[in-house]
Amino acid sequence: MVLSFDLKDFIIRARVLKLYRQALRTARRAPEQAGAELRQTMREEMEKHRDCNDKQKIRYLISEGLERLKRLNEMLDMQGHS
């Protein structure tokens, strides 16, 4: 099956992948056990919304993910994980 993307779909997909990569990098900063749990949770969240085609919902999920990632980074910074 060949997927057809218009420019907006391509940009949204790129933003989702960028968010996922950023989240994985942040999880590396966490202690080992917590990092493994974070990666698992991140993957589950991505898989849960994998088939979402509603662009407005996807944009909302991206902004929600960025906000959660920002809070996680702040928490790791306060705990001294670099």
Cα angle vertex 43, ends 40, 45, to 5°? 110
Instruction: Give percent helix, percent strand, percent coil of the chain, each to the nearest 5.
Output: 80, 0, 20
Cα gap 64→67, rounded to integer Å: 5
User: Along the 82 residues of the chain, how does pLDDT read in single tens digits?
Assistant: 556 778 999 999 999 999 999 999 999 999 999 999 999 999 999 999 999 999 999 999 999 999 999 999 999 999 987 6
C-alpha distances (whole Å) from 46 to each of 11, 62, 77, 78 are 17, 10, 25, 27
Terminus-to-terminus CA distance in the chain, angstroms? 43
Q: What is the pTM of this model?
A: 0.86
Report pLDDT for 2: 54
